[in-house]
Chain A
Amino acid sequence: AQRVTQPEKLLSVFKGAPVELKCNYSYSGSPELFWYVQYSRQRLQLLLRHISRESIKGFTADLNKGETSFHLKKPFAQEEDSAMYYCALRGGSQGNLIFGKGTKLSVKP
């Protein structure tokens, strides 16, 4: 079964500290992985996708097929990074995304 696990419900760091939001997935084929973010009182929006290997707002994520992980990282957290972060998986020929339960990132001044 396809599954996305985000083990931390809440991650609290100080401004300027490094951040790593963990995401592990379960899928036997070649997955597509995404990170979505939801800022307070805003809609869910795409942050980045593994296929593009891009850095958005200083965040990066590398797909590690051996560890079935897609952790989100940022070297220096900013207060405006405080939000809910969801990891999502799309496997095979499916169209739909499967989301994790999310991690709330709180960046303190």
Chain B
Amino acid sequence: DTGVSQDPRHKITKRGQNVTFRCDPISEHNRLYWYRQTLGQGPEFLTYFQNEAQLEKSRLLSDRFSAERPKGSFSTLEIQRTEQGDSAMYLCASSIRRDSYGYTFGSGTRLTVV
């Protein structure tokens, strides 16, 4: 297990296209989080899962965004009809329940919408 993996590392897409990102958490971690980070900002919470259940969604997560974690393992984040404002780094993190060790982050997927 090499930690949290995210794929792809970079994605360039045209405005209006759909994109999907994948996150593979650490295998024994049952919580998985998605964050978005833009230049000069800290990570902003999007959503999180405990096992396969999506427990919380931020208001940042518009109806063009959808996330799944079908078997409580990997997760996908899809953005439909991308807009230039969606350009950002999308970070995935995982943790063991609500432990006090915080999260283990992936390297992120950098999305550029042109």
Chain A positions within 8 Å of B, measured between CB atoms, are 4, 6, 9, 32, 34, 36, 43-46, 49, 51-52, 86, 88, 94-102
Contacts and interface: CB of A to CB of B under 8 A. Distances in A.
A36 B104 CA distance: 10
B65 interface: no
A94 B101 contact: no
A102 B40 CA distance: 8
Interface string B43-56: 11100101000011
A108 to B, nearest CB: 22
B48 A44 contact: no
B102 interface: yes
Contacts of B108: 43
Interface of B: 31, 33, 35, 40-45, 48, 50, 55-56, 91, 95, 98, 100-108
B105 A49 contact: no
Nearest to B33: A96
Contacts, number: 57
A45 B105 contact: yes
A9 B35 CA distance: 20
7 closest A-B pairs (Cβ-Cβ)? A99-B42, A44-B105, A46-B102, A96-B45, A99-B43, A43-B107, A101-B42
24 contacts: A6-B42, A36-B102, A43-B106, A45-B105, A46-B102, A46-B103, A52-B100, A86-B42, A88-B42, A94-B56, A95-B31, A95-B33, A95-B56, A96-B45, A97-B33, A97-B43, A97-B45, A97-B103, A99-B35, A99-B43, A99-B44, A100-B42, A101-B40, A101-B42
Nearest to B97: A95
Contacts of B42: 4, 6, 86, 88, 99-102
Contact of B43 (A44, A45, A95): A44
Contacts of B43: 44, 86, 97, 99
